[in-house]
Amino acid sequence: MRILRISTRNYPDIGGPAKQAYLLSKYCSENKIKTINIACKSKNNSIFKNKKINDNFEIYYLPFQAPRSNAGLITRIIFFFKFLTYGFLKAIKIRRKFKFDVIHAHSPFPSGLIAYFFSKIFKLPYFYSIHGTDYPYSFLFHLDINLIAYNSKKTILVSRKIENILNKKFTLKNLCWIPNTIESSDHFHVSTKEERKTLIKKLNLDSFLKANDKIILYIGYMIFLQKVSGMIDFLIAFQNFLKNLKEKEEAKKIKLLFVGEGKYADLLKTKIRELKLEENVILLGKRDDIKELLAIADLLTLTSYIEGSPNVILEAMASNVPCLGTNVGEIKNIIGNTGYIVNPGDIGKIEENLQNFFNLSKIQRSELMEKAKKKVIDHFDINVIGKKWIKLYSQ
């Protein structure tokens, strides 16, 4: 079997769809399925050229990068036509060489549009993965659903809540739920205070952090207002939590690290100053060392109002880090009894669960860490989810 995979980005570029496209292609290639990926040039790849991962997996890069998350309408329109034109021509070139059997496109738009046109012209089936409902413009969402998802062989959703929403609003009969996956063996966590101290220094955070600090990590793009609203909810709960600690010296040792950037970042900065949390909260901006940051974290939080199946939750749990998240998208199903779930905007419950977590004994926290790791290995590892994909392709 031969698969053509289309995505605007591919790992090591940022974003959940980029990681999922890469992981699935790698797994398929290791199971003797030829996989060719089309994606924009990676930001780490200054020279435009194809990349051969192994004998069955190759990435064909387009000669331009995907736009930044804060790109304006004109930039996005130009990118739309460039991606559509170059991507379609590249797909024709690949087809002459490999004669692939199936196309698999990943949102965001316009990856699916290439798959749609290709299927109409060459009579090839295509699958479409929708990774979330955060679309910059509502008409793109409706076009994605009514044209691309409607005509796909199967439309795969990473969250059952998204599946329920689409079932209510649209007449789609080809929906299928398969959660995001992760290569759990690729993640780790420090096991001693000395290891933590060394890694903190390697991350250039030793001017802010000490080895005995308690570290809360919040990772998220600040490109949508609802995401930053969730971050501000957590900030308020975090301030309340610190105020209610009996040991004031202990409060100084609890650090909150925000990782991410975007056009709404200033709202978060203003709120940190307003709440006088500069001593406890550090904004790290965009980072490429997420794996190492998770390795020193005690808790990961994600209190958004909208999510699909966030990779960062899987990455944290694979790193033995318990999570506190809101009951949106697939978060509740992923975390389960290995962490804490609150409703969006419930600042009181966020504070309560912070207290619960930091009141755990060392043994209880260690058990929670192991439970989180085991949940990912048993239910979300690539060796589990990859088999579901291969079964779907072969059908």
The model's pLDDT over 61-103, given as tens digits with 9 standing for 90+, comes to 999 988 876 677 888 889 999 999 999 999 999 999 888 999 9
Q: Averaged over 304-319, what is the pLDDT?
A: 93
Asked if residue 160 and residue 254 are part of one domain, the reply reads no
At residue 343, the 3 state secondary structure works out as coil
Among 328, 128, 79, 141, smallest CA distance to 220 is for: 328
Domain match, 150 and 223 both: no
Residues 6+ apart with CB under 8 A from 46: none
With contact defined as beta carbons under 8 Å apart, do 37 and 59 qualify?
A: yes
Tens of pLDDT, residues 313-322: 999 999 999 9
Q: Domain count of the chain?
A: 2
Residue with tokens 């496209």: 21
Same domain, 217 and 332: yes
> From CA 194, how far away is CA 178, in angstroms rounded?
40
State whether 81 and 190 are in the same domain: no
Kindly report the number of other CB atoms within 10 A of residue 117's CB atom.
Answer: 15
Assess contact for 280 and 303: CB atoms under 8 A.
no
Q: Verify that 154 and 99 share a domain, yes or no.
A: yes
My answer on whether 211 and 312 are in the same domain is yes
**Residue 25, domain CATH:** 3.40.50.2000
Residue 48: pLDDT over 70: no
User: In the numeric block, which tokens belong to residue 372?
Assistant: 């989180």
pTM above 0.85, yes or no: yes
Domain identity same for 130 and 234 = no
pLDDT tens figures, 331-342: 999 999 999 999
Percent of the chain having pLDDT more than 90? 74
Whether residue 26 is predicted with pLDDT greater than 70 in this model: the reply is yes
Please write the tens of the pLDDT for every residue from 340-388: 999 999 999 999 999 999 999 999 999 999 999 999 999 999 999 999 9
3-class secondary structure, 348: helix
Residues 198 and 176 in one domain: no
Domain co-membership, 12 together with 158:
yes
Same domain, 161 and 43: yes
Domain housing 159: 2-181+381-394
Task: Report helix, strand or coil for 38.
Answer: strand
